[in-house]
């Protein structure tokens, strides 16, 4: 969570539009965004300083819940409970246009969807479940078709197609991909991919920052249309890896922050037990 906290602070501090900063000042530019976040404080708590950071608290909360089930030997209840939470997330999320059920926070955040996904991975590992490569691909393709069918159906009801984060079909799609990867353990078995994999989290947390910089550069250069999109995409893709690699060489690397967080938790646990 230290990674989430640090990058939330960074995104709260970094201005999105340098043109506004130069014309109206730093505080004027930041005031609008911070005011927007304060309109939904509970949701912001589960999300952080930038929308994509929702993943980290959702993952941490899911692991915490799974740990409780594991410590109490309630493995048989984990997936059913996670499925119920997932269904509620759907009812109050993408299917809200039909159900009119509202959740206190945006259901992509928190444990609503993350818990089931993490719990499935946990149970697959704990029980050593396996599936052949072909059945796994078939399951993934079936899930993908169902996902897009759902999205199209909901689009007809007024929920825009591209706004769906998770649907019913997302589960078999994800599970199929997981089993396919498990059945192909040598896929990507190369030092190059291993090196890139270590940058997954750093790239994830910093890529929006690079995209903000790229958009400002494109704006100052007067770029528009496909050319602007191409420049922003290319700059973000390359720049994110460069920035992530550079950050990992500093004391503020994700690796160091994870170790610091783990050490802090162990100290707190020791103090509470002593």
102 within a domain of the structure (yes/no): yes
Average pLDDT, integer, range 9-22: 90
Q: Is the pLDDT of residue 264 over 80?
A: no
- Indicate whether 232 and 170 sit together in one domain: no
Q: Is the pLDDT of residue 270 over 70?
A: no
> Average per-residue pLDDT in the chain?
89
pLDDT at residue number 244: 92
- Indicate whether 183 and 193 sit together in one domain: no
Residue 266 pLDDT grade (very low, low, confident, very high; cuts 50, 70, 90): low
- Indicate whether 24 and 104 sit together in one domain: yes
CA atoms in the 13 A half-sphere facing the CB of 121: 12
Average pLDDT, integer, range 78-87: 96
Q: Which of 64, 98, 118 is at the close of a domain?
A: 118
- Indicate whether 41 and 111 sit together in one domain: yes
Domain containing 167 equals 130-187
| Cα dihedral across residues 157, 162, 164, 170: positive or negative | positive
123 within a domain of the structure (yes/no): no
- Indicate whether 137 and 93 sit together in one domain: no
- Indicate whether 108 and 143 sit together in one domain: no
pLDDT at residue number 242: 93
> What does pTM read for this prediction?
0.84
As a whole-number percent, the residues of the chain with pLDDT over 90 amount to 55
71 within a domain of the structure (yes/no): yes
pLDDT at residue number 232: 94
- Indicate whether 237 and 267 sit together in one domain: yes
Cα angle 262, 264, 270 (rounded to 5 degrees) comes to 105
pLDDT at residue number 268: 52
Residue 274 pLDDT grade (very low, low, confident, very high; cuts 50, 70, 90): low
Q: Is the pLDDT of residue 191 over 90?
A: no
Long-range contacts of 183-191 (CB under 8 A, 24+ apart): 183/130, 183/131, 183/132, 183/133, 183/136, 184/133
Burial class (CB in 10 A: 0-12, 13-18, 19+), 186: exposed
Query: Which of these ranges, 16-30, 112-126, 251-265, has the smallest mean pLDDT?
Result: 251-265
Higher pLDDT, 261 or 233: 233
Q: Is the pLDDT of residue 261 over 80?
A: no
pLDDT at residue number 226: 93
120-173 pLDDT, tens per residue?
999 999 999 999 999 999 999 999 999 999 999 999 998 888 888 899 999 999
Beta-carbon contacts of residue 78 (< 8 Å; ≥ 6 apart): 66, 69, 70, 119, 122, 123
pLDDT at residue number 110: 87
125 within a domain of the structure (yes/no): no
pLDDT at residue number 273: 57
- Indicate whether 135 and 50 sit together in one domain: no
- Indicate whether 13 and 108 sit together in one domain: yes
Encoded tokens for 177: 């991909």
């Amino acid at each position: 969570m230290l990674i989430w906290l640090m990058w939330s602070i960074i995104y709260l501090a970094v201005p999105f539009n340098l043109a506004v900063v130069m014309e109206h000042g730093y505080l004027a530019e930041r005031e609008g965004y911070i005011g927007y976040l304060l309109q939904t404080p509970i949701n912001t708590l589960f999300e952080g300083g930038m929308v994509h950071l929702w993943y980290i608290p959702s993952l941490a909360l899911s692991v915490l819940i799974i740990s409780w089930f594991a410590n109490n030997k309630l493995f048989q209840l984990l997936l059913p409970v996670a499925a119920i939470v997932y269904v509620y997330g759907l009812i109050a999320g993408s299917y809200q246009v039909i159900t009119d059920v509202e959740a206190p926070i945006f259901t992509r955040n928190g444990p609503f969807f993350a818990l089931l996904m993490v719990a499935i991975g946990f149970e697959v590992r704990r029980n050593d479940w396996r599936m052949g490569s072909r059945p796994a691909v078939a399951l993934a393709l079936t899930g993908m078709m169902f996902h897009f069918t759902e999205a199209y159906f909901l689009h007809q009801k007024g929920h825009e197609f591209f706004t769906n984060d998770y649907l019913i079909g997302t589960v078999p799609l994800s599970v199929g991909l997981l089993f396919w990867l498990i059945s192909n353990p040598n896929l990507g078995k190369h030092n190059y991919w291993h090196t890139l994999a270590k940058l997954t989290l750093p790239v994830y947390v910093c890529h929006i920052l690079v995209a903000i910089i790229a958009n400002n550069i494109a704006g100052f250069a007067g770029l528009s249309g496909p050319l602007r999109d191409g420049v922003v995409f290319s700059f973000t893709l390359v720049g994110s890896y460069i920035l992530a690699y550079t950050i990992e060489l500093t004391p503020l690397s994700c690796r160091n922050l994870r170790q610091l967080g783990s050490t802090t938790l162990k100290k707190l646990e020791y103090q509470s037990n002593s």
